[in-house]
Structure formats: structure tokens, C-alpha cells
Structure 1
Amino acid sequence: MSDPTSDRTADPADRVTVLLVDDDPLVRAGLRLMLGGAPDVAVVGEAADGGEVPALVAAHAPDVVLMDIRMPRLDGLAATEALRRRPDPPEVLVLTTFHTDEHVLRALRAGAAGFVLKDTPPAEIVEAVRKVAAGEPALSPAVIRQLIAQVSGPGGGPDGPGRAADRARRRLAALGEREREVAVAVGRGRSNAEIAAELYMSVPTVKTHVSRILTKLDLNNRVQIALLVHDAGEASGES
């Protein structure tokens, strides 16, 4: 597929590089135009199917892959799972029509850092790209609550709610007391600054705890921490 270039003069090293993956060329064109208006974002390639993604990621090493879910051959779910198994993988931001797409939860469990609706205002899509590139989930507390409803509903977990909760609690038991407090706060949708204020620690300390949680639990990102906490029934008091 094509590899768009940019005539902007900003330092390329400071830009967030993005790979667009969508089977609709009009959607890709719109996204390229939208992202092209941000001086700190650069589109480095495009793919029309998930099967094209590995070669383009290897060639361009994008910071973020903006990934459609529904594609005719290899869909975005399988492509996300494969990408997140790579060493030093790019962040994945899923494109979806959330309210009608029952596969968003699977994408997040696979390691996607968040998602954006295809009709999201352009400025919000650009900001979501920046957030996931910086290691923050593009997932608001309100959206997390919608995901909780899916997780906690009848049969919400992959093995049913009871077995999923038991497994999640066993995994969380590997954390120290302070790490568990941070994990629960992440599950409530709190930012690092909010966690620091609530738990009386510095932001760098919060970041250290989050990194340790990810390592201990073999997770990809904060969204997966949140989902595990919700599976365990530990996220009471969301706001």
C-alpha cells in the first residue's frame, strides 16, 4: 500500500508515527487528512487488511497502529493479537462503531490501548493517538463502565463470570499491597496524577508501580489492568 509523506518541517524525531489500517480507502483518506493537520503526528503507511500489517510495522516501526476491526480477510482482532505478541510492539488504537461492535472487549484484552468511534471529532482522534503513544489508555471512565457491564453481565467473562473472577483474583494475589491499590485505582479509570493524590505518593512512584504490575501480571497496558480488576470484582466505587 501507499506510504504517504509529509512536507512539514517539524523535527521527525518528535512526531508520533501512525500506520492506518482500514479496508475502506475513503476512511483511510479521511484519517490521513485529519492526522496530517497535526504537526506532531505523521502517517507512515496504510494497509487495507490485517494481513498487510506485520510487513508494514517491520518496515516503518510506527508508534501507533490505528486499526479497523472489520476487514474481509484478516480482521483487526487477529491482527491486534499478533502485533501485541511481537517484541517491542506498537500501540494499537482500535477504530470501531462501539455500540454495535461486540468485539471491542476482545480487542482490549488482546492488548489494544483504546478505541475511537469512526464518527469521533477529528481533534479527539488526534488526542487519542497522542495518548496511546504516551502510554496512556484512550478509554474514559464512562467507557470503562460500559465495558464493565459487558464483563459482569451473564456469561461476561470468557469462561463465565464466576470462573473469570476466580482466575482474576488469583492473578491479583501476586501483587504487593501497594501495587494492588494502584491496580484497583487503574481499574476505576484514574490517571496517574489522580492515583498519586488518592494514595499519597508521587507520580513517578505510581508509574513505577504500574510498570511492576504489568511485568508481574504479564499484561500489555493499563486497559488490561482495568479489565482484570473488573473481572476480579475489585473496582467498586467507579466515578
Structure 2
Amino acid sequence: MTALSVNLNKIAVLRNSRGGREPDLLHAGRVCLDAGAHGLTVHPRPDARHIRHDDVLQLNALCRERSVEFNIEGNPFAPPRSGYPGLLALCEACRPAQVTLVPDGDGQLTSDHGFDFARDGTALQPLIRAFKALGCRVSVFADVGDPAVADAAAVGADRIELYTGPYAEAFAAGQPEPALAVAVETARRARHAGLGVNAGHDLNQANLGVLLARVPGICEVSIGHALIGESLYAGMDATVRAYRRIVDRFPLAATG
């Protein structure tokens, strides 16, 4: 089935808003994995607004202990600074199963667009080689509808992650079909180029099953904001199990 990776950023946001250790990020990670999540995702940003350097190391150790995948997201072009060693250095320390490259600026609230491969491809290529030399699978954030999505393979990526924000907005507006059709075509282009396809952003229990039914073969979905929000009402264990029931309905995806 499609793998479910739970993004724990929002747990860290809540902890950081008060200071101290609560809610405990490691405990949240254990609850997610006990409930059936296939892995964990974090997006440490240079300003440490949520996930911090020490969180990355501790969650990586948890994933290794449980033999599940750890996925680190980040902008490979963001320079190191105090409290943030840079994405490559974090991956050198952790050797995560997957690194997901995103083109976020420092002040960006959340990821909201994919790479421009024509503009960024030359600069991405040596960085992708460096991540792959660490044994990481490399996924790159891509816009649904990008006609150049196959160029992600040319720069060395193993997968793309479809940015599903526009699909989620269309679904909420009751008009998902045009966005789904574009997602189907984008995924087809990517797979034709030999890329695996992940998906993420604004996915929730209402829209996830529809996406997986219409865009077959998605390897992994990374879900954080909605899942943590839903957990406030139903509890984290029950919410993760609910997502597992959704992804379990779909056949095992090829592992690109």
C-alpha cells in the first residue's frame, strides 16, 4: 500500500510556543509508529521555529530502533548558521532513508511551490549527488502540472513529491476533478521518466482517498498539519489508524 509518513512539525510548534519539553516529540513519534505509521517526517528550518537539530537526531534514532523510514525535508540551498548546520550536514549525521528537497525561502510560512527545474536544475545536480552518496533516496518537491517534471530525473532525483495544496483547495471547493486530472498527467510524466511519486501538503482524511484512487501508484504520502489537528479531537493513535485504513485500501506502490 501507499506508505504513510507522519510529519511531526506541529508537535514541535506547540512545544516551542511554551518552552520546555511538552508535548514530547519522541513520545508523539512512538505513538504514531505504534499506531501503524510507516515512518516519520520532519522539516527542520534554519530559524528552528519548530523542529530543532537535536530533534532530528533523536527522531532518527527512534526510526532506526523501529526499522522504519525517516524523511528529512529542507531547502538544500539554505546556508548553515547558528543552530542550523545545513541540510546536507544533518543528513550526514543521520543518513535518513529519504531526503525531500524543497525550494522554501527562510521566511516562508509553509511549502507552497515546487522547483523550477529549468532554473534550479544545474545547481541541484551536485547536491543531489551528495545526498545520494550518503545512501539517501532523494525526492524533490514538484508542482502539479509542471510540464518539465521529468527533468527531475535528469538532475538525479529518485522521486518527486507532488505539491497537493491546489488539489486540496479544489477539493474543499467541491471541484476536485480538474486538479485531479492534472495530477494524474503529472504523475504519468514522472513515472515515464523513471521517477517514483510521493505526495503531500494539505492532505486529510476527507481528500486523501480520492487522490489515491485517481492517482494510482503513489509511493508515500507525508501528512502533518491536518493529522495533528484531527488528533486534537480523536486522539493521535485513533487518527493515525484512520489514515492507515485509507492507505491500506490501495495496492502496493512501486518503490522508486
TM-score bracket for this pair, using the shorter chain length:
0.3 to 0.5
Structure-2-length-normalised TM-score: 0.32
Higher helix share: 1
- Tell me the TM-score normalised to structure 1 length: 0.33
More contact order relative to length (CA 8 Å, sep ≥ 6)? 2
Bigger CA radius of gyration? 1
